[in-house]
Structure 1
Amino acid sequence: MQSKIKTITSIGIMGFGAFGRLMARHLQPHFALRICDPAHPPSPDTTGKGLRPATISEIGSCDLVVLAVPVAATPEAVAALRPHLKAGAIVLDVGSVKIGPARVLAEGLPGHVEIIGTHPLFGPQSARNGLAGLKIALCPIRGSSTPRIAAFLRHVLKLKVIATTPDAHDREVAMVQGLTHLIAKILVRMEPLPQHMTTASFDLLMQATEMVRHDAPNVFMAIERANPHAKAVRDRFFALAEEMRMFLENGRQDMVQTEPALPHKVADAVPA
């Protein structure tokens, strides 16, 4: 479907939590922003192109609408937004999983709007020094606007754009984010951890843990439970950890499997 909107001048953001605020800070110099989040209403701001609280209908009248809500809240947000979207509008989400949300967006939004699934591969902690050089995944779902959105992200926000599909995205992120957050959660449970007599590798591990320590609980649950490929990665990780535990306790080299427990392609695993 060819978009009827040639120029994006206004952006509506549903959800103004930590990531919604991060987006607003970087988008406001370029677009008029309308924010809908009764739980986190923004303060009116006239710097840049402007930022102000808005109703659902006002959000729907924007050229581009960003769903910055928890993954589990996507169906409710889509249902609320659907009646208010104008023809040719672009709707995108920023969730950490893509298969489920892509299906919800495609089935729940009217055919006269374009849809792009996105996943900024960063958060407020990793973006505290700016966006330049950070990565974002784009999954075209409906419409033809992905190239111009990608161009803005590359040339204006200086992000590295990765074009992919919802399934390919979730297969990789099941390991990339799934393991990172899982290990970080376990390390936090092991506190207090050494702070003085540390190695460079341990310090890097702690830096990675700090980047995700304060993520909302729903982010962790989405990464681990809403991604259909995450369970296979967890199961493989725990199986290999158990093999290593047995080796260390019994000293038997044959208890440590030298080849991967599953094919190199995590994607080949059967989702739970």
Structure 2
Amino acid sequence: MRTALVIGCGLIGTSAALALTARGVRVHLVDRDPDQRRTASALGAGSEDPPTGPVELALVAVPPAQIATTVAELQRRGAARAYVDVGSVKAGPARELVELGGDPTSYLGTHPMAGRERSGPLAATADLFEGRPWVLTPHQETATEVVNLVLELAALCRAVPVMMAPEAHDRAVALVSHTPQLVSSLVAARLREADEAAVRLCGQGIRDVTRIAASDPRMWVEILSANPGPVADVLAEVAADLDETVRSLRALESADEAKREAGVAGVEALLRRGNAGRERVPGKHGAAPTSYETVAVSITDRPGELARIFADAGRAGVNVEDVRIEHATGQQSGLVQLMVEPSAAPALAAALGERGWTIRR
């Protein structure tokens, strides 16, 4: 691929443009907001100048409701050999494009499974898609040349292509992306009117659960409006589980021993189902989940401390598989949790202790 046109200079569009530009593709940028376009260009994502002729690939990074009309207009202009979108919903835009008289042979709907709670070009990075699934949902009439170009796009962005039917994709993202966003927001909303004393007790658990609740509401209204049925189906199942859990918790308050035992059984069953579901979440690099040992280290909130602890772990010959940081309330310190292979944990703890780190047992 030598030339591309990116329509929409938000997080996804700009990140794709940065990745393509870094690998030698000449990218032209389009956005209704000239400030977003200029920012993306200044970051090195591509040129604001229009292409002099058809490009090889037009990448449409606009809200789901605008995908079909945007692709159809580009096709009427003959802007590219192939057209791809990166929206988070696939079945609706594909149907609408056909209804608008668009050409399904030169179009392929895709969804890179990557993102951040921040939006806009300033949040973009060239490595956003590295190692992440990039779902391709070709129409039965999509030309082989178009599929190959989009596979090249995923390769240039160092993503992992996954083929799915559009409807299957929409049901899948309702479960693994759209519903988690709403559940995170529901939990975070409980904090809005909470007593300040309660909020000050927030630890890593509530931070993990509510992280994505910081996402842009306008963007998510657009996404959810394009996939309401599948999301509502999953939420209805979650609501049924919540109702059952509430009944089990109420039973734990009962003076009747049999009811309390039933309540315990109900809560335990939910927690065990959660364990089983969590075990199915892919691990590092998409491989099967791996159990790591945690080495917890006290750390002060000073420049260079994280770099020093990682350097010391490297000197010990231990690879840190994952890391979490828990900040201490009201103090300039915290706890770094280093996840490593179980066999490496004793050696790492000993090595860090020798270098003056305080290991928390």
2:13 to 4, 20, 29: 20
Q: In the alignment, residue 108 of structure 1 is paired with which amino acid? A: L
1:137 to 131, 135, 138: 135
TM-score by length of 2: 0.58
Cα distance change, pair 93–147 in 1 and its aligned pair in 2 (3 A): same
Cα distance change, pair 25–163 in 1 and its aligned pair in 2 (3 A): same
How far apart, CA to CA, are the structure 2 residues paired with 1:19 and 1:60?
24
The aligned residue for residue 159 of structure 2 is 159
1:204 to 201, 208, 211: 208
The aligned residue for residue 217 of structure 1 is 218
The aligned residue for residue 325 of structure 2 is none
CA contact (8 A) 1:12 1:33 kept: yes
Q: In the alignment, residue 51 of structure 1 is paired with which amino acid? A: S
The aligned residue for residue 178 of structure 1 is 178
State the secondary structure of the residue aligned to 1:117.
strand
Gapped runs of 5+ residues in structure 1? Answer: 1-7, 265-272
The aligned residue for residue 102 of structure 1 is 94
State the secondary structure of the residue aligned to 2:74.
helix
State the secondary structure of the residue aligned to 2:229.
coil
Q: In the alignment, residue 32 of structure 1 is paired with which amino acid? A: R
How far apart, CA to CA, are the structure 1 residues paired with 2:234 and 2:106?
33
The aligned residue for residue 81 of structure 1 is 74
Cα distance change, pair 190–197 in 1 and its aligned pair in 2 (3 A): closer
State the secondary structure of the residue aligned to 1:23.
helix
Gapped runs of 5+ residues in structure 2? Answer: 119-123, 193-197, 253-258, 278-361
2:28 to 10, 34, 43: 34
Deviation at 1:59, TM superposition (A): 9.4
State the secondary structure of the residue aligned to 1:89.
strand
CA contact (8 A) 1:140 1:165 kept: yes
CA contact (8 A) 1:19 1:124 kept: no
Deviation at 1:196, TM superposition (A): 5.8
The aligned residue for residue 5 of structure 1 is none
State the secondary structure of the residue aligned to 1:236.
helix
Q: Deviations over 1:50-72 (max 9, x none)?
A: 42154xxx598322111111011
Answer yes or no: is 1:68 the counterpart of 2:66: no
How far apart, CA to CA, are the structure 2 residues paired with 1:123 and 1:59?
32
The aligned residue for residue 103 of structure 2 is 111
Q: Deviations over 1:25-75 (max 9, x none)?
A: 222223222222222452284997942154xxx598322111111011224
Cα distance change, pair 246–103 in 1 and its aligned pair in 2 (3 A): same
Deviation at 1:82, TM superposition (A): 3.5
Deviation at 1:177, TM superposition (A): 1.0
The aligned residue for residue 190 of structure 2 is 190
The aligned residue for residue 345 of structure 2 is none
Answer yes or no: is 1:92 the counterpart of 2:90: no
Answer yes or no: is 1:52 the counterpart of 2:48: yes
The 5 Å alignment of 1:226-241 reads: 226-241=227-242
Structure with higher RCO (Cα < 8 A, 6+ apart):
1
The aligned residue for residue 112 of structure 2 is 120
Q: In the alignment, residue 198 of structure 1 is paired with which amino acid? A: G
The aligned residue for residue 244 of structure 2 is 243
Q: Superposition RMSD on alpha carbons, in Å?
A: 3.4
How far apart, CA to CA, are the structure 1 residues paired with 2:227 and 2:60?
17
Q: Which structure shows the higher helix fraction?
A: 2
CA contact (8 A) 2:27 2:46 kept: yes
Cα distance change, pair 48–85 in 1 and its aligned pair in 2 (3 A): same
TM-score by length of 1: 0.74
State the secondary structure of the residue aligned to 2:76.
helix
How far apart, CA to CA, are the structure 2 residues paired with 1:59 and 1:212?
42
How far apart, CA to CA, are the structure 2 residues paired with 1:250 and 1:60?
70
Larger Rg: 2
How far apart, CA to CA, are the structure 1 residues paired with 2:163 and 2:93?
17
